[in-house]
Amino acid sequence: MALATTSPSSTTPAVPSPAGSVPAVPSAAGTEAPTRRDPRSPNVLGVLLFVVADAMALAALLALYFGIKNGSSRWPPSGVSVGTYIPTVITITAVLSFFSAQWGYFSVRRNDPRNAAVGMALTVIFGLAIANLEWQAFVRAGFSVDDHAYGTLYFLLIGYHMAHVLAATVLLALVAMRALAGHFSASDYEPVRAVTIFWHYSGAVWFAVMTALFLLSRHG
Amino acid sequence: MTTTDTGSEASGPEASAADAADDAPGPTDGAPSPTGAWPGGVDHKVVGKLFLLLALLFLLAGGVLAVVMRSQLAGPDVDLVTDRSYRQLFTLHGVFTVFFFLMPAWVGLATIMVPLQIGAFRLAFPRLQAFALWLTAAAGGLVVAAPFVTRLTTGWALSAPVPEGRRFRGDGYDLLVLGIGLLLVAMVVAAINLIVTVLKFRAPALTLKRVPMFTWSVLVSSSVLILALPVIIAGLLAMTVDRHYSGHVFNGFTGSRGGNPLLWPRLFWFGAYPALWALLLPALGVIAEIVAVFSGRPLVARHRAMAAMAAIGVLSFAGWGSEVPSLERARPVFAVGALLVLLPVASLMMGWVLTVVAARRDRVRRGTEGAGGGSPNPSVLHALGFVSVLAAGLGAGALSALNAGGRLHENYWAVGQQHLLFFGASTIGLVAGLYYWAPKLWGRLLPPRLGALEALALVGGVHLAFLPMLVLGLQDMGVHLSSYPGDDEWQPANLVATGGAFVLGLGALLVVLALVVGAIRGRRAGDDPWGGHTLEWATASPPPPHNFDSMPEIRSEAPLLDLKLAPPPPGPEVTSRTPVGAGAVS
């Protein structure tokens, strides 16, 4: 072992360090650097970094979308009718889920497991509803993935969001069950925070996808 | 001399892996168990070694392929392999060496050394790193299986000439695309883990400005990887939709059913170009450590060196378009980016030279100049070789950037330059790191004489193999040619390059031999055989499962050097407990 150690109550001089090793000195003494703990936990930072990486993948898909769109004389291609009903309902549901997710999160922080479970359960229902609506958007599109580039990117981008929503829904269901079982408290809510961040990110993904596919495309 | 005891709070090997994996860092956290749900356990040192083992296997495989390719090009009209087989060889060679050797190798070394350098007892997410390891192994299996299903001829960039081309058909490509995709996911996961570990698990008083240079380089490199690799992953996802659902992202051309095959190389190089720089960055960190420790003084202008590394990370995103032929008009702009990124690398090298000069001046002042002697350390030999290869790579890179849109991007110059800068320098830096940190990896020293011979073969092989490629570039030899007629002027340089490839192959074999001999029968290393400056040298060789029993006082970026130069005055024993590897400071 490199460092000779003494027990906390020891007052005997330290054992001289053997050749090639380094003597230890107290790490508590003389440290001029701050010892403040960053309020963001490792789990939350990990999720934030994952979100950054995931956002780069989304940006790449959107770059493909706009790269192809800008090179096309007609976008979406003739015969494609982009409706507004389903995306509008999805958007409203996504906004509602933002509030329900926050309701669950703040309830956990207030030591209120019942309200937390209700808020999170509601968010799970919203998540399933969004996935269902996106499935309807696939079924009722009137074109398929292999018809043209718009179709491919339509299925790719909405599918990308659907995968995020389903993943976030599963994670939220898991933390909701843990919340009900009393695993979290006002001082221990890190997983809820991390999952809530991911949920909000999946909502942001929808807004990016919706803007590309619907807002910046002509409507039928 | 006083000591600090972690007492009962010292994380013992008996502490549960579950605690280690799930809880926030704190003084009562347990150390990761050496065994766990994952084969090999979740101890970062074991996981890192398995990453290295996997990477070395792919280095050898990629090296064998390279030797066959170079043998084919040794002379005119050699008929060792057919043109299609040759294309398969360079496809697999690129995939093996870039994706499955360099990436896992650096992740592996960082997985082992970063927690030790920052005084942490584990990674932030030990299980996640084990997951990344086994995902990498699975991805490697898929890629190895791919050529048995379909002959792969697209090149490592999967774009010869465009992904929708005829060459891109066959189930083997699915295995290749899936394998590369899974590997990149594993690398992103591992990079996130390393970043969180550096930001959250540093020892008290080890501020971000004080982290060791290798750790800093890993932080920058990992940041680049999590921004760059997802772009390639997204491209592979779109490619899979094209292939399996007859999609039109890269298929067809804009104007009919849409789709644009020219978007793939743009997407790929947007991710791959910074990723290549990210694989050089840790090598720069290793050499910075070696220069400082073997000079016996901190790096000159260390904070500027840290800023230079960060600048490399940022500027690595500015030159990607220089590798994309279809961006003809924008290429001069990207060429400026490709040129700018070389400047901080050059400034780092200047800092190393100034450090060595300052150390010599210190020795002269103390009257110890000429003392010591003996054979040079293998780490130092590798560092010298690294500098020579890096200098050649920088020169070639600068000329390449100045030749924006010219032939040097299309012919063998590009091969030589990329191999010098990203393969040669990065690999030599990695091997230098293995010699330097062998005491912490295996508790033993790697054999110095074999190391000297291996350094000679490795560095000499890199120069002999890749410098002639620059000559071939000036002679405008095409990149993907599998043979050439006898009346061409290309033969002499090709012959030398082939000889260099064999020498380089010998160097790679000697690396493996040195690692095996050193890890099994090497001389037992002391805890700090080189007079190290940073925290990894404050623990045993090899470190215990919980890494540290106690922590030296951290007053600067070189806490161990501080102790040697100015030991703290004897005073009353400090009886307070110091959480070893506890939470970070900002």
Task: Please tell me which residue of chain B has the smallest CA distance to A60.
Answer: B231
Do B184 and B232 touch, CB atoms closer than 8 A?
yes
Q: Output B79 or B257, whichever has higher pLDDT.
A: B79
Give CA A148 to chain center in angstroms: 31
Q: What is the 3-state secondary structure (H, E, C) of B523-558?
A: CECCCCCCCCCCHHHHCCCCCCCCCCCCCCCCCCCC
When CB atoms are compared, the residue of A30, A64, A155 closest to B555 is A30
Q: Return mean pLDDT, chain B.
A: 86
Q: Quickly state the pLDDT bin for B570 (edges 50, 70, 90).
A: low
CB distance A149–B248 less than 8 Å? yes
Rg (CA), chain B: 24
pLDDT at B576 over 70: no
Closest to B580 (Cα-Cα) out of B541, B542, B553: B553
pLDDT at B374 over 70: no
**pLDDT value for B14:** 34
For A106-159, the pLDDT digits (tens) are 999 998 888 999 999 999 999 999 999 999 999 998 899 988 899 999 999 999
Dihedrals φ, ψ of B566, to 5°?
A: -140, 80
Q: What is the DSSP string of B126-159?
A: HHHHHHHHHHHHHHHHHHHHHHHHS---STTTT-
Do B279 and B106 touch, CB atoms closer than 8 A?
yes
Provide the angle, in degrees to the nearest 10, between the axes of the packed helices B263-295 and B103-117: 40
When CB atoms are compared, the residue of A4, A43, A146 closest to B247 is A146
Closest to A147 (Cα-Cα) out of A135, A138, A158: A138
B515: amino acid identity, one letter: L
Give CA B360 to chain center in angstroms: 30
pLDDT over 70, % of chain B: 86
CB distance B554–A21 less than 8 Å? no
**pLDDT value for B141:** 97
Give CA A52 to chain center in angstroms: 9
**pLDDT value for B4:** 37
pLDDT at B168 over 90: no
Query: Alpha-carbon distance B377 to B370, whole Å?
Result: 16
Residue B572 is given by DSSP the state P
**pLDDT value for B62:** 95
Q: Output B235 or B243, whichever has higher pLDDT.
A: B235
CB distance B196–A41 less than 8 Å? no
Structure tokens at A62: 């959107």
- Minimal C-alpha gap between A144 and chain B (Å): 9
When CB atoms are compared, the residue of A12, A27, A33 closest to B4 is A27
Q: Return mean pLDDT, chain A.
A: 82
**pLDDT value for B511:** 96
Interface of B with A in 200-239 (CB under 8 A): 200-201, 203-207, 210, 226-231, 233-235, 237-238
Do B204 and B237 touch, CB atoms closer than 8 A?
no
Interface test with B, best of A10, A56, A153 (most B CBs within 10 A): A56
When CB atoms are compared, the residue of A4, A13, A153 closest to B249 is A153
| b/e map A60-92, b = 16+ CB within 10 Å | bbbbbbebbbebbeebbbeebebeeebbeebbe
**pLDDT value for B27:** 34
Q: Quickly state the pLDDT bin for B373 (edges 50, 70, 90).
A: low
For residue B205, list chain A residues with Cβ-Cβ distance below 8 A: 27, 31-33, 35
**pLDDT value for B472:** 94
Do B238 and B247 touch, CB atoms closer than 8 A?
yes
For residue B227, list chain A residues with Cβ-Cβ distance below 8 A: 52-53, 56
Q: Does B443 touch chain A (CB under 8 A)?
A: no
How many residue pairs bridge chain A and chain B with CB atoms within 8 Å of each other? 268
For residue B258, list chain A residues with Cβ-Cβ distance below 8 A: 68, 72, 77, 148-150, 152
pLDDT at B54 over 90: yes
For B116-142, the pLDDT digits (tens) are 999 999 999 999 999 999 999 999 999
For residue B541, list chain A residues with Cβ-Cβ distance below 8 A: 2
Interface of A with B in 149-168 (CB under 8 A): 149-153, 155-156, 160
Q: Does A27 touch chain B (CB under 8 A)?
A: yes
Contacts of B227 (CB under 8 A, 6+ apart): A52, A53, A56, B274, B317
Closest to A97 (Cα-Cα) out of A208, A201, A179: A201
Q: Quickly state the pLDDT bin for B244 (edges 50, 70, 90).
A: confident
Q: Does B161 touch chain A (CB under 8 A)?
A: no
**pLDDT value for A24:** 44
**pLDDT value for B581:** 40
Interface of B with A in 521-550 (CB under 8 A): 526-529, 537-541, 544, 549-550
Residue count (chain B): 586
CB distance A26–B576 less than 8 Å? yes
Q: Output B260 or B583, whichever has higher pLDDT.
A: B260
Q: What is the pTM of this model?
A: 0.88
Q: Which residue is listed with tokens 């000195």?
A: A25
Q: Which residue is listed with tokens 């161990």?
A: B560
Structure tokens at A158: 């909405």
Residue B248 is given by DSSP the state -
Q: Does A63 touch chain B (CB under 8 A)?
A: yes
**pLDDT value for B569:** 62
For B79-103, the pLDDT digits (tens) are 899 988 999 999 999 999 999 999 9
Residue count (chain A): 220
Query: Alpha-carbon distance B473 to B479, whole Å?
Result: 9
Q: What is the 3-state secondary structure (H, E, C) of A20-71?
A: CCCCCCCCCCCCCCCCCCCCCCHHHHHHHHHHHHHHHHHHHHHHHHHHHHHC
- Minimal C-alpha gap between A41 and chain B (Å): 7
pLDDT at B427 over 90: yes
CA distance readout (Å), B439 to A13, B189, B524, B536 = 29, 28, 8, 10
CB distance A27–B204 less than 8 Å? yes
Closest to B336 (Cα-Cα) out of B312, B316, B318, B309: B318
Name the stretches of chain A with pLDDT < 50.
Answer: 1-39, 220
Q: Does B575 touch chain A (CB under 8 A)?
A: yes
CB distance A30–B553 less than 8 Å? yes
pLDDT at B13 over 60: no
Q: Does A17 touch chain B (CB under 8 A)?
A: yes
Rg (CA), chain A: 26
